[in-house]
Amino acid sequence: MSATRITVRGESPYEVVIGTGVLEELPGLLGEKVRTVAVVHDEALPEIAGPVCKALEEAGYTACPLPVPSGEAAKEIGVLAGLWSDFARLGVTRSDAVVGVGGGATTDLAGFAAASWLRGVRAVLVPTTLLGMVDAAVGGKTGINIAEGKNLVGAFHPPSGVLCELSALATMPHQDYISGLAEVIKAGFIADPKILELVEADPAGAASPTGTHTRELVERAVRVKAEVVSADLRESGLREILNYGHTLGHAIEKAEDYRFRHGHAVAIGMVYAAELARLTGRLDAATVERHRTVLTSVGLPTGYRADAWPALREGMRVDKKARGATLRLVVLDGLARPGRLEGPADELLAAAYKEIAE
């Protein structure tokens, strides 16, 4: 089956290549000037990092594998500092490149390492998870976490290309795959309702990397993100709609010390945002219920602990969409009609949380 190419436009256009056997295109994305390639990869993925390094070596590059911790443990300042030292040891110059291989946390880290080394070197991302393919690796947002919050330190650094090797999805743990599906469903609610229809038609298939519609779901979700990012690289307005469900979701992740899967947190956050929209008269009850039905059908959570609200409210204060003391949330004014809710009263926020409290 041939590869699908989706262009992300902007000041530095690049392609997201989706299919099987797409790793062979990696050398072409790096170009002729590159000599040394730092391959930042999840330490748990030698079976994927190995072929990447082999492809680079066969193309004449010097490939230097640099394993990093799995998951959010990779997005720490100590790990980043270690990569900077590795780059110095390897002699990575401004004409060389970084390749990030792994899930969203790994590609976030690799991208930020590339953005910050010598004020910016070329990066190519090879996401190996559903979350990485449809969200983290597309759009040029890079970053790490600090104790005060997730992704508060980072940079916009568009990659030179993204390779989505669909065969890698078959190796994912089931719950990790389901977590990524939350971002796919999010794309359905904010922009492409056909995604919701595909999930509703075959929830079991949607929840499996071997499902009938897996490739179409990935492609549709990537197109949604590519179109939004192309119009607003630096999150000055439109791009904020991609954060649907993320305000409460990030607060849950922080409260759980980042041991809670991102997609699971976002799923809860989407239901919360839908309830907020309903309570303010912006969204009908049927669409709110559709959130719960679609998410539940694939095994995603839709509620969270009742006693957690004070900690979650505090965590929402440092959300990236906030402006000064004013909290701003992405909500829906209807299916595929995202909008913003600015400065909601604490009483309203608490009332919406009661609707999802368990």
Kindly list the catalytic residues: 119, 141, 183, 225, 235, 239, 243, 246, 250, 262
Name the nearest CA neighbour of 335 among 182, 187, 190: 190
141 Cα distance to chain centroid:
9
**Annotated binding-site residue? 150:** yes
108 is in an annotated binding site: yes
106 is in an annotated binding site: yes
- 104 has binding-site annotation: yes
What tokens were used for 278? 């309903």
320 is in an annotated binding site: no
Does 41 show up as a binding residue in the annotation?
A: no
74 belongs to an annotated ligand binding site: yes
Instruction: For residue 39, report the phi and psi dihedrals to the nearest 5 degrees.
Output: -95, 95
Whose tokens are 């990569």? That residue is 83
Q: What angle do CA 50, 54, 59 make, to 5 degrees?
A: 155
CB 324 within 8 A of CB 270: no
Provide the CB-side half-sphere exposure for 81 (13 A, CA).
3
The response to whether 73 counts as a known ligand-binding position is yes
Order across the sheet with 4-8: list the strands. Answer: 4-8, 14-19, 161-165, 122-127, 97-102, 36-42, 62-68
DSSP state of 208: S
Instruction: Give the up-direction half-sphere exposure of residue 265: CA atoms within 13 A in the CB hemisphere.
Output: 21
93 is in an annotated binding site: no
Confirm whether residue 72 is marked as ligand binding. yes
Question: What residues have CB less than 8 Å from 124, skipping those under 6 apart?
Answer: 26, 29, 30, 97, 98, 99, 100, 159, 160, 161, 162, 163
Does 354 show up as a binding residue in the annotation? no
Among 267, 308, 101, 109, CA closest to 183: 267
Sorted by sequence, the CB contacts under 8 Å of residue 231 that are 6+ apart come out as: 238, 239
Instruction: With beta carbons less than 8 A apart as the criterion, state whether 57 and 99 touch.
Output: no
Say which amino acid occupies 352. A
Amino acid at 296: T
Is residue 36 a known part of a binding site?
Answer: no
Indicate the annotated binding residues.
Answer: 70-75, 104-108, 128-129, 141, 150, 183, 246, 262
Indicate the annotated binding residues for NAD(+).
Answer: 70-75, 104-108, 128-129, 141, 150
